[in-house]
Amino acid sequence: MKINELLGRFAIWTTIEEEELLSRLHRPVRLSKLSEHDQFRIQTLIRKSLVTKVGFDDPTVVANDKYNN
């Protein structure tokens, strides 16, 4: 039996600001186009695996669809 089956619904805790930022990420966005405050929040969301960063020189961030409501 998998741990997800035992827990039922597995949710990752997010702040209100993180939820608002996730709701704005409907398509890939250049990290450099976001404000410094949003870039900080994006780094937190990347560590929580809710957002994926693609690229090295001018990275793009993409919201993970299974967590984006």
Q: Compute the distance between CA of residue 41 and CA of residue 18 in angstroms, rounded to an integer.
A: 6
Q: Is the pLDDT of residue 67 over 60?
A: no
Tens digit of each residue's pLDDT (9 = 90 or more) over 1-57:
566 677 777 778 899 999 999 988 888 889 999 999 999 999 999 999 899 988 888
Q: What are phi and psi of 34, to 5 degrees?
A: -90, 155
* 8 CB-contact burial (10 Å; exposed 0-12 / middle 13-18 / buried 19+): exposed
pLDDT at 1: 57
* Predicted local confidence at residue 12, as pLDDT: 84
Q: Where are the domains of the chain?
A: 29-69
Structure tokens at 9: 């619904």
For residue 55, give every residue at least 6 positions away whose Cβ sits within 8 Å of its Cβ, in sequence order, or none: none
